[in-house]
Chain A
């Protein structure tokens, strides 16, 4: 789920980027904030950081004694993406393995659907391996699958989320790639 969040943040601007003219200073702060934001990638609590939408407030700058950098407490709004346990979502298959498939959904690429959570499906080895079912459309690379999230895990070192998903439930499974509403 995409979320709109309002966050406090400390932006550190190097002394050489300080400029007495207002607009330039604001620009330096924004540039720095965007840099930090992109580098941080994700946090356990808020999920993946997509974009800063508005800078709500810039507080009083404080000079850091050792470096001469100036620290500005700011508040901004932005968009994040987080996966919740129990959430139903659409993902695209990007890897088919013998024991299950990996889906991607937005910025998350490690969404694992194990074959034990794919009732009626069996693995068929081929140049393009595929999971087949008597009743339902096949699951192969680039197929869109509607799944329910049964668990999520935050990997601190990689700053990534992993999720386990399942097809066990009503109205879950491959969804037609053609968008019926177009």
Chain B
């Protein structure tokens, strides 16, 4: 098992370097990888041959697990992540927490706490009402797509 026995994302113990590292939501990764892939398409007849397996598998994954299936839609929602990041500062979420919420899209307060237990425990006194409001804000953004 992992050498760092302390690591536990549920309690937001994921190592300082990762708390500081910028996390990316699946939809953001989809935008970036799509862009890379389009660049390759312009210079190569067989772009899939040009990319690593890691790239290919990740692209498949984010295509499936973010809501934007085609490049046009992705372009249209470029602003979407930035408004999500505003929520991050409003609710003092760690990037890791916001990205899990953004990827999994929980619908209820209970579900949100099950997905990201640290939003309840990290001493930030998020009561249920605040979490509800946060989920509302997140779903409002979704409606603008």
Contacts and interface: CB of A to CB of B under 8 A. Distances in A.
A48 B2 CA distance: 16
Interface stretch (B7-15, B41-49, B85-93, B122-130): B7-15
Main secondary structure of the interface of B (DSSP, over half): helix
A79 B29 contact: yes
A181 B64 CA distance: 12
B105 interface: yes
B2 A86 contact: no
Contacts of B51: 38
A85 B9 contact: yes
B120 to A, nearest CB: 13
B14 to A, nearest CB: 5
Chain A interface: which size bin?
35 or more
B7 A84 contact: yes
Contacts, number: 122
B21 interface: yes
Given A5-B21, A88-B115, A90-B65, A41 B52 contact: yes
B134 interface: no
Interface of A: 1-5, 38, 41-42, 45, 48-51, 53, 79, 81-82, 84-90, 92, 104-107, 109, 146, 148-149, 151-154, 169-172, 179, 181-182
Interface of B: 1-2, 7-11, 13-14, 17-18, 21-26, 28-29, 32-33, 36, 51-55, 57-58, 61-62, 64-65, 67, 69, 96, 99-100, 103-106, 110-111, 114-116, 142
11 contacts: A1-B99, A2-B28, A88-B100, A88-B104, A148-B10, A149-B9, A151-B1, A169-B114, A171-B110, A181-B67, A181-B105
